[in-house]
Amino acid sequence: MKLNNYINGQWGTDTGADYTAVKNPANGKTIADVRLSTADDVTQAVAAAKAAQKKWARVPAPKRADYLYEIGRIMIEKKEHLSQVLTKEMGKVIEEARGEVQEGIDMAYYMAGEGRRLFGETVPSELDNKFAMSVRAPIGVVGLITPWNFPVAIATWKSFPAIVAGNTFIWKPATETPMMAYEMALIFEEAGLPAGVANVVFGSGGTVGTAMIEHPDVRVVSFTGSTETGRRVAELGGRHLKKVSLEMGGKNAIIVMDDADIDLAVEGILWSAFGTAGQRCTACSRVIAHTDIKQELEQKLLEAMKGLTIGDGADESNKIGPVINAKSLEKISYYVNVGKEEGAKLLAGGNTLTEGHYTGGHYFEPTLFTDVAADSRLAQEEIFGPVISLIEISSLEEAIEVNNSVVYGLSSSIFSRDVNKIFQAQRDLDTGIVYVNAGTTGAEIHLPFGGTKGTGNGHRDSGVAALDVFTEWKSIYVDFSGKLQRAQIDNN
Which residues are designated catalytic? 247, 281
CA 403/CA 434 separation, integer angstroms:
11
Report how far residue 37's alpha carbon sits from residue 297's, in angstroms, rounded to the nearest whole number. 50
d(CA 156, CA 140): 18
Could you tell me how far CA 243 lies from the centroid of its own chain? Answer: 18
- Using CA atoms in the order 147, 149, 152, 153, what is the torsion angle rounded to 10 degrees? -100
DSSP SS3 for 223: strand
> Comparing C-alpha atoms, which of 205, 189, 206, 209 is closest to residue 197?
189
- 15-30 residues labelled b (16+ CB within 10 A) or e (exposed): eebeebebbbbbbeee
Q: What residues does 94 pair with on adjacent strands? A: none
Q: Which of 190, 239, 242, 234 is nearest to 217 (CA)?
A: 242
Distance CA 382, CA 283 (A): 10
Question: How far is it, in rounded angstroms, from Cα 47 to Cα 433?
Answer: 38
Sequence-distant (6+) residues with CB within 8 A of 247 are 154, 223, 224, 230, 281, 449, 450, 451, 455, 456, 459, 461
State the CB neighbour count (10 A cutoff) for residue 166: 25
- Containing 393, the helix (H) or strand (E) segment is strand 387-393
Amino acid at 109: Y
299 contacts 262 by C-beta, under 8 angstroms: no
Side-chain half-sphere CA neighbours of 470 within 13 A? 30
Q: What sign results for the dihedral spanned by CA atoms 315, 321, 324, 327?
A: negative
